[in-house]
Amino acid sequence: MKNNLADLNCHLFEMLERLEDDEIIEDEEKLKLELKRGKMICQVSGQILNTARLQVQALRLAEDTGLKNDELPALIATKDSARMSERKFLEARR
């Protein structure tokens, strides 16, 4: 599994397809397992989406206030802005 929202979207649609599978629907144990798995995937997916939403809000706020991506706190930084901050830190040590 890769770590981006497009891949997450694909996994969610794959889950829907599994729930439509006749073999799973006809087997009560398999169906219970898929439903349990689906519930867990949805819970984790929801948290991933909430985090992405927070990052977008932080980027918008940074843009509105004139901050650059590399000035965002590491806690809400995107992967790219974290890399930029790391580069700045390493350059400052030289």
Question: Over 50: is that where the pLDDT of 89 sits?
Answer: no
Q: Which of 8, 17, 94 is nearest to 49 (CA)?
A: 8
CA 66/CA 49 separation, integer angstroms? 25
Rama region for 52: left / alpha / beta (φ>0; ψ in -120 to 50; rest): alpha
pTM, 2 dp: 0.64
> Could you report the per-residue pLDDT of 65-83, keeping only the tens digit for each?
887 666 666 656 566 655 5
| 86 alpha-carbon distance from chain centroid | 22
CA 22/CA 24 separation, integer angstroms? 5
pLDDT at 45: 93
